[in-house]
Each structure stands twice: as C-alpha cells, then as structure tokens.
Amino acid sequence: MFIKQLYTACLSEAAYYIESEGEAAVIDPLRDIDAYLALAEERKASIKYIFETHFHADFVSGHLDLGKATGAPIVYGPGTQTRFPVTVAKDGELFKVGKLTIQVLHTPGHTLESSCYLLKDENGKDHCVFTGDTLFAGDVGRPDLAQKGEDLTMNDLAGMMYDSIQHKLFPLADNVIVYPAHGPGSSCGKNLGPNTHSTIGEEKQTNYALKAESKDAFIREVTEGITAPPSYFPVNARINKEGYDSIDAVVATGMTGLSADQFKKLAAEGAIILDTRHASVFTQGFVPGSIFIGLEGRFAEWAGSLLPFTEPVVLVTEPGKEKETIVRLARVGFDKVKGYLDGGYEAWLAAGEPTDMIIDVEADELMMDIPHDDNLVVVDVRRETEYADGHLKDAVNLPLNELTDPGSMANIEDTDNLYVHCAGGYRSVIAASILKKQGIHNLRNVVGGWSKIKEQERAEIVKETKVLN
C-alpha cells in the first residue's frame, strides 16, 4: 500500500495518490495533472480511478484532463449530475485498487453530492478516510454553498452535515487516519487547524464542531460567525460541474510573447494587466494600470476574488515565471490569458513607455507623519476580524476583497493622503495597485504592515470588542 498526499500550499489543497499492486487512484486532483501522471509513471502503475469528493468551489479540478490522459473513470458520490460522463457511485459501493478497497460514504452537508472515501487495507481493515470538505483537521466544511436550483438554507446543509458525521464518520475507529481536501488558510471552512491530516480520535477530542452536544448546537457552532465565501466560488463550482478546456490549450495561448506595442494594444482594448512580480519589485516601477498579485502570496485565491473571469488578461512576470503564472491562474478558472510581455518590465522600460510606482514608507515614518498631516488617513485592508483584534486609532477598515466594489471608497476624499497597510505587506500592495487603477494616486504603502506598526511606541492601538465577541 502506498499513499501520498500532494499538497499545494497557495491553495491549501490536498490531492491524494493511492496505489497497490500496480493500480492507482487519484482523489481530488488539481487542474494541472503532470504530478499525478509522473508519479504513476515513476512507480510503474496505471491510474484506475479518479475520485472526486464533491464539486469543488475553490479550484478547478483536473478530473477531465486526467480522465482523458488515462482512460480512468471519474467517480462522484450519489446524486451527482454533470454535463460529462461520470460514474455516480452508490452509498457504500466498493471499488478495488490492487489489494485495497475503497468504500463510498455519502456525506451530504458541504454540498449535496459530498462523499468521503474509506480506504481498507489488504486485510480489509479500515486504514484511513479521505474526507474532502466534510471534515478537516480542527474544522468542518462550510455549509453555505448551496448550488443554483437547490432550495436549501445554510442551516439545512449544516443539519445534513451533522447527520453525515454522526452516522458515517463517528462510528469509525479512533485510529483511522483523516485525510481532508484542505489545510490551514482555506476558505472552505470557518477556521481550519494547522495540520493537513489527523485521526478520527483526535477530531472527536479537539474539533470544536464535533464536540457539539446536539444537532442544534452543531448548526449554531458551524454557522455563527462564518464570513461570506470568496466571490469566485460559484464560478469554479460551475466549471467543475459543466466542464472546461484542456489546460494544455490554455497554456499554449497564454505562452504568447508580446512586444511592448502588442501588449499596449491588447491593454487598450480592455485586457487586464496583471503583474505577478514580487511586491518589493512592483512598487519600484510598473506598467500604468497594472493590478499586482504576486506569486509569493495566495496568488490564485486573490486573483479569483479580485479579477473578472470574463475579461482577457495580459501578464507581466519575472522572466521564466510565465508558465507558472498561467497554470496557477488556470487552477481557479482563468482561461483567457492572451500572452505576456516578452522580456518583462525591462522590455517596457527599453521601449520608452511611461511607468508608474508606489511610494513605500516604513512604519516609523507613518508614526511621524500622523501628528503633522490633518489629511492623513490610514487604510487598513485586513479582514474585519483582523482589524477588530487591534488597529490604529481612527484607521479606516477597507478589506481587500471589498476594494473592487465601487462603493467601498465612499468615505475617502480626494484630498486625503492614504497610508495603506495589511498584516505584512502583500495585500497592501495589491490594494494600492487597485486604488491606482481606480484613479486614486495620493497613497503610500506601509512596508511590513501591521507587524511593524504595532511595534511602534507611539502607535495608539484599539480593539473592536463587539466584533470579537
């Protein structure tokens, strides 16, 4: 028996490769499938099944491309409806992979078709369970992702999840390993723990949701305080259900080198300019109108949350990072990358084209400026809960995910001098690029963000206790 977790940190996503006697199965593959094919080839195995725990909302799965590449059927849980051929398994149905057995456990709650896959070893003993977005280490899946046409409330789905966990997962032995689809940082739960695997026993003892004393208490625990899901979730769920173009075709189109003139022409026609270089490099100079989302952060999530899927995209990347950028965009459903600036930003400079920049300031400079500038406004782009846990007095909270809303800047005046910060300096540069694209140029980026601001002796820090309670 061979099991390998293939974890993608920037999406907090875990896919799994299972193998026995030269037969393999893949669970919840990402859209870029090379890693699974390479692993099977390296181990001289053939991929027999592709199992999907549910219609993922936070990334585009690789089920279609992997199925075409291997001939393996795509298996979903009961009730699944798609626009492409799949095997719709029955609850309790068994699938053989070499000497191993995989049993389908239908666990509706996160979505209606959500299913876990219980792996039994060569002796028929329960070894581990692949729980998808039903059960995480320290959390459970969010119950507010009812799909179009499903007349279900968040409480309805939370109630289903309670029953699923109680009847399908709780009866498993404490030593059964839990392999979830996501780890820390994922938006598929309310507050995932730091680990990417666990055991049934550990979750019974430590998971806040599993310690609920009743169904009503469970519903209350998993729904209270849950924030809205990222805006791209419905888009990705639809793509996974309806199908998509081959990633090879998407990469081939995106890997078109563009001269400065060609790049400028596409931008003038409405293409989004996306710059993926490091934040510290971007602020020093960029193509006017660019939106910054650096590869060094949670790149795909922020792209999905902030960029429209309907518009073409042209890229400015660090030379050699073009394909990586295109693939990571494709993971969350961006299929309209029309090319990249050949030679990168240096080529733009060599062509004599106009440039823009963002002024970086240190936290101590912000502290010196506050008492002497009546028009200074601190813009904190962290999440509401981060802001509530400690922020500068009089700082305005404009969470990054809300900055593309035309009404988000309603309280900002043209005369305001904006000092933008986040927790560490990544999100604030994204925010500053969006503000500049919106025509707001009187701004500065606070390097190091809140981590540096809170160290300043003169920082007047307040908390929002109503939000925290």
CA 417 vs CA 10, 52, 174: distances in Å: 33, 50, 57
Give the CB-side neighbour count of residue 265, counting CA atoms within 13 A.
Answer: 7
Answer whether 257's CB lies under 8 Å from 328's CB: no
Q: What is the CA radius of gyration of the chain?
A: 24
- Adjacent-strand bridge partners of 126: 120
| DSSP secondary structure letter of residue 298 | S
Name the residue among 238, 209, 201 with its Cα closest to residue 142.
Answer: 209
Q: State the Cα–Cα distance between residues 338 and 345, nearest whole angstrom.
A: 17
What is the C-alpha to C-alpha distance for residues 387 and 182, in angstroms, rounded to an integer? 25
Domains and CATH numbers, the chain: 2-235 (3.60.15.10), 245-350 (3.40.250.10), 359-468 (3.40.250.10)
Q: Please state the pTM of the whole predicted model.
A: 0.93
What is the spatial distance between Cα 284 and Cα 292, in angstroms, rounded to a whole number?
12
Cα–Cα dist 20/325, whole Å: 35
Q: What is the pLDDT along the chain (469 residues), one digit of tens a residue?
A: 999 999 999 999 999 999 999 999 999 999 999 999 999 999 999 999 999 999 999 999 999 999 999 999 999 999 999 999 999 999 999 999 999 999 999 999 999 999 999 999 999 999 999 999 999 999 999 999 887 767 889 999 999 999 999 999 999 999 999 999 999 999 999 889 999 999 999 999 999 999 999 999 999 999 998 888 999 999 999 999 999 999 999 999 999 999 999 999 999 999 999 999 999 999 999 999 999 999 999 999 999 999 999 999 999 999 999 999 999 999 999 999 999 999 999 999 999 999 999 999 999 999 999 999 999 999 999 999 999 999 999 999 999 999 987 666 667 787 899 999 999 999 999 999 999 999 999 999 999 999 999 999 999 999 987 665 5
Rounded to 5 degrees, what angle do the CA atoms 74, 76, 81 make? 100
For the residues of 444-455, what is the DSSP string, one character each? Answer: EEETTHHHHHTT
- Please answer whether residues 136 and 192 qualify as being in contact, where contact means their C-beta atoms are separated by less than 8 angstroms: yes
Question: Cα angle at 371 between 370 and 375, to 5 degrees?
Answer: 60
